[in-house]
Amino acid sequence: MRFVTWAAGSRNRASSEYGLGISKQCFALFPRLRDVHDQMTPELQERVREVHPELCFYGMNNGTPLEHSKHTPEGINQRLHLLKAVGIQRPERQLALFTKQTATDDDVVDALAAAWTARRIADGEAQRIPELPEKDARGLRMEMWW
């Protein structure tokens, strides 16, 4: 499987004008994403929403991309600051709950960003992109929430 992932990633990067490719982590998620997609229905989509942490942080940052990568101390601190600013109390305490083997700092701040969006969805305050999403062949809205 490791070779298949490497080969697919190499071909993916080679096909990109900028040498961009799908990460190993993304390849590892494909089976789980497929499972969710296979179970999803338009009715279920009313309760199950797709979010992306960087989109959530973009929203928290007033529609401005973040300056630092989430893989740097500056990026983690920037995200912790934004989480505090939107009402997540003491997010740095959440970082201390996990060892690096169970969850990295960027995983924890991503989860907190998704939780922020879940609260906004429940309160009717969340936004989606695109505002008027297209539907796929199964009638599922192609959208993300923040």
**Counting Cβ atoms within 10 Å, is residue 129 exposed (0-12), middle (13-18) or buried (19+)?**
middle
pLDDT-based confidence at residue 67 (cuts at 50, 70, 90): very high
Q: How much of the chain exceeds pLDDT 70, in percent?
A: 96
Domain count for the chain, please give it: 2
- In tens, the pLDDT along 117-144 reads 999 999 999 999 999 999 999 999 999 9
130 φ/ψ angles, rounded to the nearest 5 degrees: -70, 165
> Within this chain, do residues 85 and 121 fall inside the same structural domain, yes or no?
yes
Q: How far apart are CA 72 and CA 67, in angstroms?
A: 11
Question: What sections of 40-131 are H helices per DSSP?
Answer: 53-60, 73-85, 91-96, 105-122
> Within this chain, do residues 1 and 66 fall inside the same structural domain, yes or no?
no
Q: What integer pLDDT is reported at residue 69 of this predicted model?
A: 95
Question: Contact, 58 vs 66, CB < 8 A?
Answer: yes
Name the more confident of 26 and 107: 107
> Within this chain, do residues 32 and 64 fall inside the same structural domain, yes or no?
no
> Within this chain, do residues 33 and 53 fall inside the same structural domain, yes or no?
no
Pick from 138, 144, 113: nearest CA to 43:
138
pLDDT-based confidence at residue 3 (cuts at 50, 70, 90): low
Name the more confident of 7 and 84: 84
> Within this chain, do residues 50 and 120 fall inside the same structural domain, yes or no?
yes
> Within this chain, do residues 5 and 54 fall inside the same structural domain, yes or no?
no
> Within this chain, do residues 91 and 33 fall inside the same structural domain, yes or no?
no
Question: Contact, 88 vs 116, CB < 8 A?
Answer: yes
In whole angstroms, what separates CA 8 from the centre of its chain?
Answer: 22
